[in-house]
Structure 1
Amino acid sequence: MIVVILTACAKIVPPTGGPKDVTPPELVRSTPKLKSTNFKGKEVILTFDEFLQLKDAVTQVVVSPPPAKQPDIKLKGRSVILRFSEDLKPNSTYSIYFGDAIQDLNEGNAKKNYYFTFSTGPHLDTMELRGRVCNAQTGLPEKDVIVALYTEMKDSIPYKERPFYISKTNVGGDFTLKYLANKPYKLFALKDANSDLMFDLPSEAIAFDPKPVKPEAPLPDSCDSIKRINTGIYHQLALFQEQDSVQRIQKTVVTQRKKISFAFKYPVKTLLLNPLNFKKDNWKTFEWNPKRDSLDCWLAPVMPDTLQFRVIADNMKPDTLQFILKAEKANNKKTKAGKEQLKAKDKVAIKIISTHGSTQPYDKPLIFETENPVNEKTLKGLRLSHLKDTILVDATLADTLSGRRFIINQKWKEKSAYTLLIPGGMLTDKYGAINDSVNLMITTWEERDYGTFKIDANIQTTKGQWLFQLMTEKDVLLREQTAAKSGKIIFSLLAPGKYMLKMIYDENNNGIWDTGKYLKNRQPEKVIRFNGLITIRANWDQEEKIELKADQ
């Protein structure tokens, strides 16, 4: 992106009083004139009808074609002055994209998506190219992404040269490249980490159109966003980060003196975590997430204040990490809150895990977990009460490695209330805490309290499969089903509420989404979002027809 140097003169405060100003600044004169030709100078002056401020000019203001040396922007009263330190390219249409940076001084009304353009030759280019950039993995729009056009068609061009035309996506991921010459271009989108307008860092994300693109005649400003998408060619770009084959630790977090959490770039196959400054048997308990890209390392009760490890995960370069375990804050034994905190610290906390809020699905086993790992593998003789009946049930560790989550396989009755009694002293965690006697309240719904979501899928792909992912309103995966041929996809026993649907074209049948590779001309696997939220009502079947193509 173009980095601008912003300076300002003394602040001028306009007089107060009268109705609130809700209109953005309007251009009253400029040098050169808007859309003028044969400009030979190095200074552009835009004068507006009121005093100004520039908001986030460093990130919002973009000059196309980008100069080798960065321009300087200065505010002077009602004027924006942009100075180039080099000669402008001859016979070129220049476009200065201000985004929403130009705002009035008092109320902050922005002149949205503002372009100023002129030509250094006798002709002003007027063609446009429109489209949208979405995150390839999530399918959600990407804002503030650089969209770039090159006049050369070499595959190496984004690595070695700055683009000829650039713009940025808005909050909806949409972009418009204006004032283009009528000729083919190579189209990219780039999340530019170092602001050099080149694809030169492993952490940068890229999107590309595999074929040359051609601009079209501009649409009237009166066209709304829906008409712009449905008129002419709307280029859809999927932004992805190429896979770096080297494993990395992306984040570590120390939780009091009990746990060190590791986040890895990829799922981990093998891990060596060797202590360097202490020797101790049974000093750790590993708890992996289902994808094995996140690890909670639970520590033994007595550990040194400083821990050093040599870490090797898969093919990563060996690394030495140091962690400082802070002393826990002492509770004030004289206050009621302090006494309660001290008491809770010595007790095993237990909670029910449910995908349906406070209710227990009648077709699923009951799952409860402890706050910290415990020593027990099986709990026998727990008292489960329903109405006047009481039976004894057993709970077993759902995951013997983590030592926190227990499961009870029980046939539940619909629309019923249960009480599970876990007697005191049955659980002891690795820090010496013991559970109090606790009654867990369990409520089930009847079948008509749930809803069903049915998808009539018309699958027109001939290879691979589609992953249908039902998500919460906050984009958390709830359930997944796969299908390779047309038919019904049914998500039953859904709690009433709002959901989202994501569909992944799993072309290589490996059951996961795969990213792309630019130099191999390989696009990321396609992700399609169902438009809008899906509302599930009790005792109701919600059905949608969806057509799925590889090229949609």
Structure 2
Amino acid sequence: MIERCTYNQLYLFRSYILFGIIMYCVCSMFSCANPLPPGGGPKDTIPPEIIHSSLVNGSLQVSVQSIQLEFSKYIDRNKVVAGLFITPSIPFETHWSGKELDIHFEKPFEKNTTYALTVGTDFTDYAGNKPVNAFTLLFSSGSVLDSGKISGQLFGQLAQDCYVFLYAADSANPTTTQPIYKTQIGSNGQFNISALPYGKYKMFAIKDEWKNNLYDIGIDAFGMPSSQVECFKDSILQYLINVRAPKDTVSPLIYSVRHISKGIIEVQCSEELDSLSIHKHFFLLKAKTAQKSISKDSSEMKPTAAYRNPVSAQTILIEYDTNFIASSIAFQMHKDSLLPKDRFGNKLLDSSGFRECAINPKAEVKTPSIINISIKDSTIGFPLQGSIDCISSAFIDIDNFARATLLSQGNKTIPVEIINNTGTAISIKPSSALESDTWYSLSISSATLKDSKGTPFKDTVLRYRFKTQDTRLLGSIQGILQDQAGIGPYIITLRKADKTIAASINIEKKGPFQFTAIPSGNYTLEAFEDKDHSGLYTYGDILPYVYAERFVIGAKTGTISVKQRWSVDGIIIELPLP
């Protein structure tokens, strides 16, 4: 009995020893991969940085086979290596020891060549802190260090973690050719590319999602400079770049066509459509009875209206005359260059030819109505030059809507302008500025409204009372827009502290500008030259290569503080040179 117990104890002891050895090896393995700092203490908010390099920045006649970089703290090693690059490109491999990174070059440097080794900003320490700026080490295999430099700043919600790619001025397609120089922007959006040969370049901001040093259309967000990128002796040019969403090159498709109510066909599409690109003349409808085929004896029906569904941006509603008697309707788009488009200008496609949808003989006429209005009853602080937006469930005849709308102040009728935005979206704008601190009344008698088929709207009267802003509690901003290179027109936007737009004005040429009736608060100014007269900022394009419009964010005075009854004067906005 004693011998048996001793054997069991010995077996358990050996098992514990073996388990301990295995756990030690596992922990050591993970420790070598990404060692963790000790825990405890206050929250760490200090960003990591490179505190030592085995090669002095700006070194000449360099022929080393490896370079060592020491970090200030433990970091995510994999992301550091992923954001490590050297330009011009040369193959290398990496090894870690604690907080030190060893970079071993797999072949000799080219003769008389300046290199830039960069560690990007797309990594963190174990507290989640990112470096403020990218690290760049410059050195040359020859006796001269190229001294050209290009710098700038990226803007936009997608600018974070973007790279700046630099190519020769006559470079090939960036979707197949890697850049000769690149860097990653810092957390403040700024970038610097140093040690460049003097000359001209092509430059793009790329959010390189696949980390392949290529521009992947439809995947990577991108930004363009507003002019030729140049690098001269004793000259450092600043380039501002607005980063836009990935370019959508996929055309929207028609998924289905169905009859949803008497006199209305619904066309379901694969993505959101531009409401301004939809018109009734783009569509062909043919009525089919039970005894007739579509191809021979069908009666052509001209749509009375076509518009984007106000409650579903991916569908088109087509209205037609309800006097047609049909068991089904065939739908087809005209082969026209002016077809409906998505938000990026891609045309709606349908390769199926005629689509037939059955008509429900019991379908009733759907009563249209006003489904949304941008003002609430008893609103206080309505802008003196504001407008009221209405959304209808169906197409509205603009003349009927004008007759049904009444804006008044007491017994006085206020003239208004009715603006037809999309057929279902209509704006009511007073013909002149309203009076300060005054109550107004808006009424819309929808009983007089009809859609394109002649169907009356829901019989109701919408009434809203609102009070205008008190100008005694408002301020103003005025200044001068300066531009040494452009001729206009210009669009100037005033943004609140939360980045929402407070006001926007157009001026035909450089010179004085003014914002009036501005509530107290802190604001920033943005401006761009609307060179293509589109009314919107143009980001440019990579393929084909098109420059962006010039812009500036922020006045020379920085943030503008507006106070009640005060006019902030002397504001200067200066657009950068191209």
TM-score, length-normalised on structure 1?
0.63
Change (3 A) 1:247 1:102: closer
**Paired residues for 1:373-388 under 5 Å:** 373=394, 377-378=400-401
Asked whether the equivalents of residues 55 and 100 of structure 1 are also in contact (C-alpha less than 8 Å), the reply is no
What whole-Å deviation, never above 9, does each CA across 1:191-218 have from its counterpart, x for those lacking one?
A: 34676656796986443864752466xx
Deviation at 1:538, TM superposition (A): 3.6
Asked whether the equivalents of residues 490 and 507 of structure 2 are also in contact (C-alpha less than 8 Å), the reply is yes
Give the alignment partner of residue 204 of structure 2, picking from 178, 190, 194: 190
Aligned with 1:89: secondary structure?
coil
State the match for 1:434 in structure 2: 458
Deviation at 1:540, TM superposition (A): 2.7
Deviation at 1:390, TM superposition (A): 5.3
> Equivalents in 2 of 1:62, 1:73: separation in Å?
11
> Equivalents in 2 of 1:46, 1:278: separation in Å?
76
Asked whether the equivalents of residues 70 and 101 of structure 2 are also in contact (C-alpha less than 8 Å), the reply is yes
**Paired residues for 1:349-360 under 5 Å:** 349-352=371-374, 358-360=380-382
Change (3 A) 1:56 1:352: same
State the match for 1:213 in structure 2: 231
> Equivalents in 2 of 1:23, 1:44: separation in Å?
25
Change (3 A) 1:466 1:39: same
Q: Give yes or no for the alignment of 1:167 onto 2:183.
A: yes
Which amino acid in structure 2 is aligned with residue 190 of structure 1?
A: F
Asked whether the equivalents of residues 114 and 138 of structure 2 are also in contact (C-alpha less than 8 Å), the reply is yes
State the match for 2:12 in structure 1: none
**Paired residues for 1:89-168 under 5 Å:** 89-101=110-122, 103-105=124-126, 107-113=127-133, 115=135, 117=137, 121=141, 125=145, 127=147, 129-134=149-154, 142-148=159-165, 155-156=170-171, 162-168=178-184
State the match for 1:527 in structure 2: 551
Aligned with 1:452: secondary structure?
strand
Change (3 A) 1:51 1:212: closer
In percent, how many aligned pairs have the same letter? 16
> Equivalents in 1 of 2:533, 2:371: separation in Å?
42
State the match for 1:490 in structure 2: 514
State the match for 2:472 in structure 1: 448
Aligned with 2:472: secondary structure?
helix
State the match for 1:405 in structure 2: 426
Which amino acid in structure 2 is aligned with residue 131 of structure 1?
A: S
What whole-Å deviation, never above 9, does each CA across 1:149-205 have from its counterpart, x for those lacking one?
A: 56x6x6346768644432222243322234x27x52434421346766567969864
Asked whether the equivalents of residues 122 and 161 of structure 2 are also in contact (C-alpha less than 8 Å), the reply is no
TM-score, length-normalised on structure 2?
0.61
Give the alignment partner of residue 316 of structure 2, picking from 297, 301, 319: 297
Give the alignment partner of residue 53 of structure 1, picking from 76, 79, 83: 76
What whole-Å deviation, never above 9, does each CA across 1:419-471 have from its counterpart, x for those lacking one?
A: 4455685667799973655431211234434433322456666x733414233
Q: Which stretch shows the higher mean deviation, 29-38 or 124-133?
A: 29-38
How many residues matched?
484
Structure 2 residue runs of 5 or longer lacking an equivalent are 1-29, 261-265, 289-300, 340-345, 353-366
State the match for 1:541 in structure 2: 567
Change (3 A) 1:402 1:9: farther
> Equivalents in 2 of 1:472, 1:61: separation in Å?
37
State the match for 2:439 in structure 1: 417
Which amino acid in structure 2 is aligned with residue 233 of structure 1?
A: I
Asked whether the equivalents of residues 346 and 433 of structure 1 are also in contact (C-alpha less than 8 Å), the reply is yes
Deviation at 1:133, TM superposition (A): 3.7
Deviation at 1:402, TM superposition (A): 0.7
Change (3 A) 1:247 1:201: closer
What RMSD over aligned residues (CA atoms) do the two structures have, in Å?
5.8
Change (3 A) 1:350 1:550: closer
Deviation at 1:119, TM superposition (A): 5.2
Which amino acid in structure 2 is aligned with residue 65 of structure 1?
A: P
Change (3 A) 1:164 1:312: same
What whole-Å deviation, never above 9, does each CA across 1:42-81 have from its counterpart, x for those lacking one?
A: x6554557543237447633322223x6x55565654435
Which amino acid in structure 1 is aligned with residue 239 of structure 2?
A: Q
Asked whether the equivalents of residues 307 and 316 of structure 2 are also in contact (C-alpha less than 8 Å), the reply is yes
Larger radius of gyration: 2
Deviation at 1:369, TM superposition (A): 1.1
Q: Which stretch shows the higher mean deviation, 57-66 or 422-431?
A: 422-431
Change (3 A) 1:515 1:406: closer
Structure 1 residue runs of 5 or longer lacking an equivalent are 1-6, 217-231, 323-344
Asked whether the equivalents of residues 248 and 265 of structure 1 are also in contact (C-alpha less than 8 Å), the reply is no
> Equivalents in 1 of 2:185, 2:516: separation in Å?
38
Give the alignment partner of residue 307 of structure 2, picking from 278, 286, 290: 286
> Equivalents in 1 of 2:285, 2:110: separation in Å?
60
Which amino acid in structure 2 is aligned with residue 319 of structure 1?
A: L
What whole-Å deviation, never above 9, does each CA across 1:194-244 have from its counterpart, x for those lacking one?
A: 76656796986443864752466xxxxxxxxxxxxxxx7343255689xx9
